[in-house]
Structure 1
Amino acid sequence: MKFLFSLALLSSSAFAAVAQSPLRVLVRDERTHQPLPGVTVAVPALNTGAATDATGQVTLPNLPAGVVTVQFSSLGYDSASRTFTLPQTGEAPALIELEPNSLELQGVVVEATRTNSRIEDVPVRIDVIDEEEVHEEASMRPANVAMLLVEASGVQPQFTSANAGSMAFRIQGLDGRYTQILKDGFPLFGGFSQGLSLVQIPPLDLRQVEIIKGASSALYGGDAIAGLVNLVSKTPTEKPELNVLLNQTNKGGRDLTGFYTGRSAKLGLTLLATQNTQDARDVSGDQFSDLPQVQATTVTPRLYYYATDSTTLSAGLTATVETRAGGYLPALDNPATAGYTERNRSERYNTQLRLDSHVGRSRLLTLKNSVSSFARRLQAGDTYFAGRQLSTYSEASFLVPAGRHRTVAGANLLTDDFRETSAPALGARDYQYQTVGLFLQDDWKLRNDLTLQAGLRTDYQRPYGLFVLPRVSALYKPAPWLSVRAGGGFGYKPPTVFSSTTEQRAYVNVRPLDPARLQAETSRGLNADFTLRGRFDELNVSFNQAVFLTELSHPLIADPAQFAQGITAFVNAPTPVRARGLETNLRLSVDEFQFLAAYTLTDTRQTYDPTQPAELPFVSRHRLVLTTTFEEEQNFRVALEAFYNGPQYLGEGTRQGRGFWICGALAEKIFAPHFSVVLNVENLFDVRQTRFEQVVSGPITQPTFRPLYAPLDGFVGNFALKISL
């Protein structure tokens, strides 16, 4: 009897062990081999399932041994069904690849909102530049991501230096300092580094770019009054890949860029390495550079450790060393020659450490830390400005999906320390900020057609005090072809001396800030839009209409009386700045053909200086983007693009800059599965500000530069070789 009892006990234990066999799978895009988060993995016969995490992986526990049929589905991809025999052999997850279907941007998972939701389910309007577009723009400008944002609706480029080639971007008409730039959710590019950030970030390692317009401080804290841009990196793929891009322009630009990705069961690696050079060129014939001399090197390794099926640890380092020089060309070639020159040397080093761990089946704990050091030495003529910014960011967040809710709560600590190493005549522009923040956000699907997102952030910022930042958005889908979004939020930004205005003046005669006399800038913003989608035979149509309104209180401006004397001393304006406008986007696609038309109307006005025009300078009231692409997969691609920037007030009395068109064309031919060539032409009609007016005047040793509103480089052609192994 004891023997039979023991045998039964062992048999039941063995049966229980077999019955609890887990199924581990990794889901990827069949074309790009990138992991797919948010894919529904279901076993219909057992009425169970789950969704893949941010790395494209999922584990279904407690499945019975034997043959089981699993279904995989995600918007934007063809559904798939696979049969598995359990228990699995080995520790590696089973690989499943889904084929994208023809619906654009469906199934894209966005990371900027922290809830890892699909874009069609997010109550906040997010523009996503997907991987295919990123690759196309990387072929045009391998050295930086600036070209990616030039094509985005509602985003206007602003040229800030003829000699350094620096550029800022205005979202919804507000200065570039009000836009927060993130890399994988890390704020690495603010303050002193902001003037050069977007022209120093190569795009080859990016999977997508996410743009949120309107007050977004509730998500990531200060600096996001106008919106935020999140650059999302590629993650390791099971099949090793090596991409190499060689590029040469007709105006002395050369780029060598390589990106590697690969992983094993426990370890993964991505590595980006770039070398970019540009010769100084005088396009206008005035002996001053219209293209600066550039030497830049970037190395970005990132290591991933897959401790378990549910826990991933990643550590990354980015190192960028760059020199830029422009000005009077004979003086650039021979320092003994008299003439104005502007020379920049910058060094950027930052680390990123991240832990993602699933607690239970769906809850996600995320820990982040980054340390960023940016040093820059700027010599402009006889003046000298140098400093180092050291900033850190630490965050802990916990994502809890429960029923119809996806809730994320967390805390963060940010430090920002700038120390000037030059000796300014008006005093050092040093500052030291610390910010402690608590945030809570909930996505609540009240009904199948209605989702509400509510968020609240509380920041204590030293020395500028406490900020409470609520944010609410709603998504309503009354029909499969119609979605409506509306929302609003609050924002803030602590004062710094770093802006487009001071960048244009090379920080000459800029006074230090006085925290006792200044207060932080704050904002309130509203956004609303609706989207219509339809399919007519083979034609896919998407139409989006958006409106926006932002009021910026206590805006930081240069004291007009001192500015007229050549001194920049910042004060808070007594009345606000208001930005309002609308965006209209139309997308058409049929088979291999795609077309985009995006129009933005922006009206940004100041209310504090009746002696000046109400319209803020460097804001184009009208902006139009037109792009057309035709692609035959694994054969060739052709793209045409055109941008129109309307006239803009330039801040010199009532002077207006002219409206202008920029047109370009790209052709890529794939000769083999691992080799292609790209021929790209930008600014076909050689549109330059120097064709409209004289930009440089006065003596060569102390020249005067007109404010920039149009390109200086004119027609640029480039030829690139792309190798994928």
Structure 2
Amino acid sequence: MLQLIKSCMLTAVFVSFAFVLHAQNLLKGTIKDSHGNPIDNATVFVDGTKLAISTNSEGQFSIQIPDGKTKITVRAVGFLTAKKDLAATEYQNGFEIVLDSDNRNLEEVVVSGTLKQVSKLDSPIPVEVFTAKFFQANPAPTIFESLQNINGVRPQINCSVCNTGDIHINGLEGPYTMVMIDGLPIVSGLSTVYGLNGIPQALIERVEIVKGPASTLYGSEAVGGLINIITKSPNNAPRLNVEAFGTSWQEYNLDLGGKFEVGSAQSLVGANYFNYANPIDNNGDNFTDVTLQNRLSVFNKWNFDRKDNKLFTLAGRYVYEDRWGGEMNWARKYRGGNDVYGESIYTKRWELMGAYDLPTTENLTFTFSVNGHNQNSVYGETKYLADQKIAFGQLTWRKELGNHDLLTGLAYRSTYYNDNTPATINSSKTHLPGFFVQDEITLHPQHKLLLGARYDYNSVHGSIVSPRVNYKWNSLDKTQVLRVGIGNGYRVANVFTEDHAALTGSRDVTFEEDLKPETSWNGNVNYIKKFYMDGGSVFAIDASAFYTYFDNKIIPDYESDVNKIIYSNLDGHAVSKGLSLNLDWAHTSGLKAMIGATVMDVYSVENDVKEWQMLTEKVMGTWTIGYTVKPLGVNIDYTGNLIGPMRLPVLGENDTRPDKSKAWSIQNIQLTKKFHNGLEIFGGVKNFLNWTPTKGGIEIISRAHDPFERIDDPNLLPFDPSYVYGPNQGARGFLGLRYNLM
């Protein structure tokens, strides 16, 4: 027995000694502001490496420092960057760094505008950045819903039955926006409607949004702008993070994330599960108000250490979703039949993406993404079976020559698509090789000029050229920034994969001609001004003006024949123009506010007749107002949006429903309690005004009592669920928890 005790003691001493040796390079610290408040989400970089980590809600961090590295850099939005030389004692005892407020600099690092990491201030392209903390003010199970409080960006529900939708940017529909993960395209074609679901939000570092054409760098689908979802690096992600919440509608969402190491490789893994299985019919039309959903998504990202800090990262994602909406008595046995109406969609999607710096003295990087999307769906008795596979590869070369920062690239994308509609009697394959060049010229420390052009050859539509010019000026004290840009974009449309209305309801789809690619020219002006007030508060103005002119625009015609949806290229032109204003204010007392508004006019002109675009508002507003009760450690967040009237797809003269919606607003309130051990409890009420499109007794789904149109009455409207312009879900309470183990 004594020998056993001695052996255990020796083992304990050995383990402790090994732990001490290992911990010699473990650096711990706390980051605070000048008032002694902890700064969460500050980033600590190890100089000379790519190692970085973010502080938790208490401003704390811990990171392994390689031998020989004795300097760190600390950055946080709204503060001066700090550098520190490390003493040996600080490895063991930890230390504290105080950051001074600096509202002159825009320190956020962005990549979406120019394909390189630069501060938001230095980017010639206006890029809006939204951190994970912004989305936590109104937690949602999908990034699709999370975008509802961003000015100029609106999630649009396109179907009252299955609730699929897309993202509108400055009035332009979802197919005009490219969605990416870590700078690589993931959403196009089929996944335009479904691809924003199932991205584990616990793994999102930030979301970058570019409003305006980005086709010069990113090609087709980037006409209206792009949304780039940046995931956390395994280096700065927490070891474990959990977020779970449920609502009074019996919606349940779970996000799990964590990281681990295998040799010199670091891995980030996450999963999202969402379930809603409680049919509700508050508006009394015998149809589900919200689709029932069962969704699982798994994400895994790897970073591999290489010599000279060369980049090598791989990531993959798999999504499975089963959703249905329809008559309240629908069951799986009715799928695809004409006994009980239901829309049932099975989605399987996989993605693989990566980036690799070539082992050369030149800055050569190869990036790639491949994805497959399979959809098995029925809309009543109409079946839609589709399969899509996309492969994308790009080789870029960056070179600095004097005041020129050159970027060139070779790109290739292959798209395979097949479905059971008349549009693809045989499967279609599209090849899209391309070449782009960009020159960012520093004319003066205050002046930058960006020149770029892209050439693509579409195997179906031929050559396409997309140029752009951007100019940036900033004041000496960096409190003012002016950006001006003009660019060209193009888009090749695929109706059945992008427009859900072509499949749902009883209308026939008609093509008057072979659809040509849409082309556009866009101009935009962006101005930012920051003010410093007594007491350390900050006030910022971000104003933009935009104008986009379209040729060959494809606008579905719902009105010429109530039994058809007619697709053709516009014989004329279309315009999207407007003004956008964001106000951002933060006070040292703990009060902060972000308020925005956009006024726009989106219309088409054909045969000298101007027509307001369907389902597009002329004005919208958003706000996120937060206050921290510091003695209690409680955050109060009040978020919301206000959407102005929009033109609605009425079904001819017999349709008594309004052809224009009234203004509407979704408003939310949330309380969050933070604890010292990394635990947060949050809860509140979503849509506490209880707004839905059916307020006032409006019938959203026409002929809901006879979806298969068995009643022979020519005076009845056709069955159609496309008369929808906002979420059909009323007030609901929610409660959740969030835990981060650094």
Letter in 1 for 2:307: T
How far off its partner does 1:668 sit? 0.6
Where 1:713 maps in the other structure, the secondary structure is: coil
- Give, in whole Å, the separation in 1 of the partners of 2:467 and 2:314: 32
What does 1:572-611 correspond to in 2, within 5 Å? 572-591=569-588, 592-608=590-606
Q: Aligned pair 1:455/2:452, yes or no?
A: yes
1:12 — aligned with what?
A: none
- Give, in whole Å, the separation in 1 of the partners of 2:727 and 2:202: 24
Q: Aligned pair 1:207/2:208, yes or no?
A: no
1:666 to 667, 670, 674: 670
Letter in 2 for 1:106: L
The structure-2 alpha-carbon separation of the partners of 1:264 and 1:632, relative to structure 1 and needing over 3 Å to count, comes to farther
- Give, in whole Å, the separation in 2 of the partners of 1:95 and 1:507: 64
2:135 — aligned with what?
A: 134
1:399 — aligned with what?
A: 398
Letter in 2 for 1:296: R
For the Cα contact (< 8 Å) 2:455–2:464, is it kept in 1?
yes
2:331 — aligned with what?
A: 332
The structure-2 alpha-carbon separation of the partners of 1:518 and 1:709, relative to structure 1 and needing over 3 Å to count, comes to closer
1:44 — aligned with what?
A: none
Q: Aligned pair 1:107/2:107, yes or no?
A: yes
**What is the Cα-based RMSD across aligned positions, in Å?**
3.4
For the Cα contact (< 8 Å) 2:547–2:577, is it kept in 1?
yes
The structure-2 alpha-carbon separation of the partners of 1:622 and 1:85, relative to structure 1 and needing over 3 Å to count, comes to closer
Q: Which moved more, 1:313-322 or 1:258-267?
A: 258-267
The structure-2 alpha-carbon separation of the partners of 1:29 and 1:530, relative to structure 1 and needing over 3 Å to count, comes to farther
- Give, in whole Å, the separation in 2 of the partners of 1:309 and 1:520: 44
How far off its partner does 1:407 sit? 2.3
Give unmatched runs, 5+ long, in structure 2: 1-24, 32-38, 55-66, 89-93, 653-657, 709-718
For the Cα contact (< 8 Å) 2:396–2:407, is it kept in 1?
yes
2:550 — aligned with what?
A: 552
Aligned residues: 668
- Give, in whole Å, the separation in 2 of the partners of 1:675 and 1:73: 24
How far off its partner does 1:435 sit? 0.7
- Give, in whole Å, the separation in 1 of the partners of 2:444 and 2:302: 41
Q: Aligned pair 1:267/2:283, yes or no?
A: no
Where 2:160 maps in the other structure, the secondary structure is: coil
Q: Aligned pair 1:704/2:723, yes or no?
A: no
- Percent identity over paired residues: 20
How far off its partner does 1:217 sit? 0.4
For the Cα contact (< 8 Å) 2:52–2:236, is it kept in 1?
no
Where 2:694 maps in the other structure, the secondary structure is: helix
1:124 — aligned with what?
A: 125
The structure-2 alpha-carbon separation of the partners of 1:511 and 1:406, relative to structure 1 and needing over 3 Å to count, comes to same
Letter in 2 for 1:349: W
1:616 to 602, 613, 618: 613
Letter in 1 for 2:571: P
What does 1:465-544 correspond to in 2, within 5 Å? 465-480=462-477, 481-498=479-496, 501-503=499-501, 505-506=503-504, 517-537=514-534, 538-544=536-542
How far off its partner does 1:672 sit? 3.4
Letter in 1 for 2:251: G
- Give, in whole Å, the separation in 2 of the partners of 1:502 and 1:281: 23
Deviations 1:554-590, CA, capped at 9 Å, x for gaps: 11234679x6263445321121111100001111110
For the Cα contact (< 8 Å) 1:26–1:96, is it kept in 2?
no
How far off its partner does 1:406 sit? 2.6
Q: Which moved more, 1:587-596 or 1:336-345?
A: 336-345
- Give, in whole Å, the separation in 2 of the partners of 1:287 and 1:630: 42
Letter in 1 for 2:687: N
1:686 — aligned with what?
A: 690
1:14 — aligned with what?
A: none
Deviations 1:205-229, CA, capped at 9 Å, x for gaps: 1111011011110120001111111
- Give, in whole Å, the separation in 2 of the partners of 1:425 and 1:463: 18
For the Cα contact (< 8 Å) 1:547–1:583, is it kept in 2?
yes
Q: Aligned pair 1:352/2:353, yes or no?
A: yes
The structure-2 alpha-carbon separation of the partners of 1:29 and 1:445, relative to structure 1 and needing over 3 Å to count, comes to farther
Where 2:468 maps in the other structure, the secondary structure is: strand
For the Cα contact (< 8 Å) 1:237–1:262, is it kept in 2?
no
How far off its partner does 1:323 sit? 0.4
The structure-2 alpha-carbon separation of the partners of 1:120 and 1:263, relative to structure 1 and needing over 3 Å to count, comes to farther
- Give, in whole Å, the separation in 1 of the partners of 2:723 and 2:327: 18
The structure-2 alpha-carbon separation of the partners of 1:102 and 1:717, relative to structure 1 and needing over 3 Å to count, comes to farther
How far off its partner does 1:513 sit? 7.2
Deviations 1:78-112, CA, capped at 9 Å, x for gaps: 443433699xxxxxxx9998958464983111111
The structure-2 alpha-carbon separation of the partners of 1:542 and 1:462, relative to structure 1 and needing over 3 Å to count, comes to same
- Give, in whole Å, the separation in 1 of the partners of 2:577 and 2:462: 29
- Give, in whole Å, the separation in 1 of the partners of 2:283 and 2:104: 42
The structure-2 alpha-carbon separation of the partners of 1:513 and 1:439, relative to structure 1 and needing over 3 Å to count, comes to farther
For the Cα contact (< 8 Å) 2:238–2:740, is it kept in 1?
no
- Give, in whole Å, the separation in 2 of the partners of 1:626 and 1:366: 39
- Give, in whole Å, the separation in 2 of the partners of 1:620 and 1:256: 34
- Give, in whole Å, the separation in 1 of the partners of 2:161 and 2:720: 12
- Give, in whole Å, the separation in 1 of the partners of 2:723 and 2:601: 20
The structure-2 alpha-carbon separation of the partners of 1:438 and 1:98, relative to structure 1 and needing over 3 Å to count, comes to farther
How far off its partner does 1:465 sit? 1.0
1:722 — aligned with what?
A: 738
* TM-score (structure 1 length as normaliser): 0.85
Q: Aligned pair 1:343/2:340, yes or no?
A: no
1:638 — aligned with what?
A: 636
How far off its partner does 1:510 sit? 6.3
Letter in 2 for 1:449: Q
For the Cα contact (< 8 Å) 1:415–1:435, is it kept in 2?
yes
Where 1:696 maps in the other structure, the secondary structure is: coil
For the Cα contact (< 8 Å) 2:338–2:381, is it kept in 1?
no
For the Cα contact (< 8 Å) 1:578–1:604, is it kept in 2?
yes
For the Cα contact (< 8 Å) 2:198–2:272, is it kept in 1?
no
Letter in 2 for 1:120: L
- Give, in whole Å, the separation in 2 of the partners of 1:244 and 1:708: 35
For the Cα contact (< 8 Å) 2:640–2:666, is it kept in 1?
yes
- Which protein has the bigger strand share? 1
- Give, in whole Å, the separation in 1 of the partners of 2:195 and 2:735: 25
For the Cα contact (< 8 Å) 2:160–2:722, is it kept in 1?
no
Deviations 1:665-721, CA, capped at 9 Å, x for gaps: 111101332211110311111000111311124234434335111221111221111
Deviations 1:61-83, CA, capped at 9 Å, x for gaps: xxxx9999887778744443433
The structure-2 alpha-carbon separation of the partners of 1:382 and 1:151, relative to structure 1 and needing over 3 Å to count, comes to same
2:82 — aligned with what?
A: 80
Where 2:233 maps in the other structure, the secondary structure is: coil
